[in-house]
A and B are shown apart, each in its own frame.
Chain A
Amino acid sequence: MLECIAPGLLATIQDTGRYGMQSQGIGTAGAMDVFALRVANALLGNPRTAPALEITLGGAEFIALETAWYALCGADLGATLDGTEVPLCAPFRMTAGQRLRLPAARRGQRACLAISGGFVADVVFGSASTDLRCGFGGLLGRGLTRGDRLFSRGLCEPARLPSRVFTSLAHPALVSQEPLALLPGPALALLSAEDRERFLHESFTVSRASDRMGLRLEQALASAARLPQALSEPVAFGTVQLPPDGKCIVLGADRQTTGGYPVAGVVASVDHGRLAQLRPGETLRFRVTGFDEAHRAWQAREKQIAQLAIVAGAWWKDER
């Protein structure tokens, strides 16, 4: 059992998302950094979709009320356990009475804290993800507040002591300065030649108005105002919209199911974790990729997680 002393800016329970209900207008929610969630779960021998905590930017503190194993992935929020630094991407044990502090973001902005067995949460339409707008899923459909207590679905002790820190997996989303891979959409070709050049070569600043719904970019593309009106159509994680003011919106986990703005493209799945970790004030660039290239990059990423799951799974095996 884990008690929340301080949730920080926002701490929610998320899994890999609520898919299957978008035809009813119900969004997917889910972890912004699904890669971090899956690595954290793999390190603990959890199912890939086990619910975990998404902790935003820092200022968060928790106290363990019983002993359990955890893993922390995604952003580096300077985590300490009773003052001792906690490594990212390695299982660690918290004994009753110990305090986990996540003071401030050093790299990235969203950390994923998984518990052995996965957190107990409200499962709605097959997912434990918190839908903040509709107020269901996770913990009563809201972010954590002081005093909330979280339980594991079933704690495990490892059969042998976890021996490795997967540093190569610690920050795939955080170290890269490469442009984000984008599968172009219909509106890209309809921008003015100048704006298209800017879209593909300039840096865009992530605005303060960004949240789990989407990243708002500050620089405007003037010719977006002259794009033909688009019919509302389904959108996906990473869809880059061009509203009339020309300031791109890159949709995140709390996006709506459909959208009516012209679509410049969709960020490739392999780079979704980077979208989760870009902080307001940081910059990003886009580069065009093709379906096959994006697919190969994703499969390489899947292979990394699968290999990790085999190594880490062996730590927990005998207990299952």
Chain B
Amino acid sequence: MAPCVAPTVKPLGDAALLVEFGTVIDPSINARVLAAWRAIEALRLPGVLDVVPAYASVAVHMDPALLEYEPLSRRLLAVCSALLPAVPEQRCIEVPVCYEPSFAPDMEELCAHTGLSAAEVVARHSGADYRVFFLGFTPGFPYLGGLDPALSMPRRETPRARVEAGSVAIGGAQTGIYPAASPGGWRIIGRTPLSLFDHGRYPCCLLAPGDTLRFVPVSATEFSRQSSGV
């Protein structure tokens, strides 16, 4: 566990502040980030437009006309220094994944690279608990921690022009799920029938910062049953 350092505040331009809790990816630091995110949102400060958590920092976006740097940074520091121990956020989301070849175009390459069989890759990938550190990059995309280092593999030299929505993939030491069809360079090893983001749904994102995520292997039949059922 990373040492607990006092939070610091610095300007992010003249319309936002950044509260930093550390400089590494660590669940205990991120737990404080998420507690700060909720506490700052709960203040409902006038002029605050958006509060945005990441691995080890929280941004507070403001209407610059209403932003007074000194009083606000003091207020934020006071709030962030007096955070209660994070409430255990024990939402665990199970994400069904079909790892069968038709949904896993890069499985063979990943096996060759890691020296593992496809069955071992699936067992290791679905055998871990992942932490959703935060959502970013694209709506509903989770930055996950907890990938077995044995499964890491560099991204493709040339990204694919189109990766289907729901594709479960590995890029470097990270694993992730593509919320929408897009170009992408990660190694695709499966697909989930669940929709990670739908702007017409409430809540719009399947996952939330702080969630625990577990991949559950399903057959192609189960995949199509779940995709048509949604």
Chain A residues near B (Cβ < 8 Å): 19-28, 124-125, 133-134, 136, 183, 231-239, 256-258, 266-269, 291-292, 294-295, 298-299, 302
Q: Are B136 and A258 in contact (CB under 8 A)?
A: yes
Q: A232-B143, A256-B137 are in contact. Are A238 and B54 (CB under 8 A)?
A: no
Among B11, B24, B136, point to the contact of A232 (Cβ < 8 A). B136
Q: Are B52 and A23 in contact (CB under 8 A)?
A: yes
| Residues of chain B contacted by A294 (CB below 8 angstroms) | 13-14
Determine whether the beta carbon of B61 is less than 8 Å from that of A22: yes
B51 touches A23 (CB 8 A): yes
Which B residues lie within 8 Å of A236 (CB)? 12-13, 15-16, 59, 61
21 contacts between A and B (CB under 8 A): A25-B135, A183-B13, A231-B55, A232-B143, A233-B56, A234-B54, A234-B59, A236-B12, A236-B59, A239-B12, A256-B137, A256-B138, A257-B52, A257-B136, A258-B136, A266-B16, A267-B13, A268-B13, A269-B13, A291-B69, A295-B67
Partner of B135, one of A24, A238, A292: A24
Across the interface, which residues of B come within 8 angstroms of A21, CB to CB? 50
Q: A23-B53, A183-B14, A258-B136 are in contact. List 20 more A-B contacts (CB 8 A).
A: A19-B50, A19-B61, A21-B50, A23-B134, A25-B137, A125-B199, A134-B138, A134-B180, A136-B199, A231-B55, A233-B55, A233-B59, A234-B52, A236-B12, A236-B16, A236-B61, A256-B137, A266-B14, A267-B13, A295-B64
Contact across chains for B65 and A20 when beta carbons are under 8 A apart: no
CA distance A75 to B193 in the complex (A): 46
B83 within 8 A of partner (CB):
no
> Which of B13, B52, B204 contacts A22, CB < 8 Å?
B52
- Tell me how far the C-beta of B25 lies from the nearest C-beta in chain A, rounded to whole angstroms: 7
What CA separation (Å) do A249 and B147 show in the bound complex?
Answer: 31
- Indicate whether B209 reaches chain A with its CB closer than 8 angstroms: yes
Distance A125 CA – B204 CA, assembled complex (angstroms): 10
For the complex, what is the distance from the CA of A15 to the CA of B15, rounded to whole Å? Answer: 18
Within the assembled complex, what's the spacing in Å between the Cα atoms of A183 and B10? 11
Output the least CB separation between B180 and chain A (Å). Answer: 7
Contact B138 A25 (CB under 8 A): yes
Q: Which residues of B from 1 to 43 have beta carbons under 8 Å from A?
A: 11-16, 18, 23-25, 37
Query: Which residues of A are found within 8 Å of B197, using beta-carbon distances?
Result: 24-25
Nearest CB of chain B from residue A212's CB, rounded to whole Å: 15
The reply to whether B64 and A233 form a contact with Cβ atoms under 8 Å apart is: no
Contact assessment for A237 and B15 in the assembled complex, using a CB-CB cutoff below 8 Å: yes
Tell me how far the C-beta of B184 lies from the nearest C-beta in chain A, rounded to whole angstroms: 14
Distance of A292 Cα from B53 Cα, bound (Å): 26
Q: Does B96 contact A (CB under 8 A)?
A: no
Which one of B23, B53, B64 lies within 8 Å of A269 (CB-CB)? Answer: B64
B57 to chain A, nearest CB (A): 5
Within 8 A of A (CB), among B156-201: 179-180, 197, 199
Do A291 and B205 touch across chains, with their CB atoms under 8 A apart? Answer: no
Interface residues in B134-156 by Cβ distance below 8 A to A read 134-141, 143
Contacts of B140 in A (CB 8 A): 24-25
Q: How far is the CA of A238 from the CA of B25 in the complex (A)?
A: 26
Which residue of the partner chain, among B25, B37, B204, contacts A231 with CB atoms under 8 Å? B25
- Determine which of B11, B49, B57, B136 lies in contact with A25 in the assembled complex, contact meaning CB atoms within 8 Å: B136
Contact A183 to B137, CB < 8 A, known contacts A19-B61, A295-B67: no
**A291 with B14: CB separation less than 8 A:** yes
Q: How far is the CA of A28 from the CA of B140 in the complex (A)?
A: 14
Among A23, A237, A292: residue with most chain B CB under 10 A = A23
Establish whether residues A238 and B139, one from each chain, have CB atoms under 8 Å apart when the complex forms. no
> CA–CA, A106 to B159, complex, Å?
38
Residue of A nearest to B138 (CB): A25
Contacts of B139 in A (CB 8 A): 24-27, 134
Contact of A233 among B49, B57, B67, B69 (CB under 8 A): B57
A119 to B23, alpha carbons, bound, how many Å? 45
Q: Which residue of A lies closest to B68 (CB)?
A: A295
- Return chain B residues, CB-CB under 8 Å to A257: 52, 136-137
Q: What's the least CB distance linking B11 to chain A, in Å?
A: 5
Question: Given A25-B138, A266-B12, A231–B56 Cβ distance below 8 Å?
Answer: yes
- The docked-state distance in angstroms from the alpha carbon of A258 to that of B133 is 13
A139 CB, min distance to chain B CBs, angstroms: 15
Asked whether B18 lies within 8 Å of A234 as measured between CB atoms, the reply is yes
Residues A238 and B13 in contact in the complex (CB < 8 Å), given A23-B52, A231-B55, A298-B64: yes
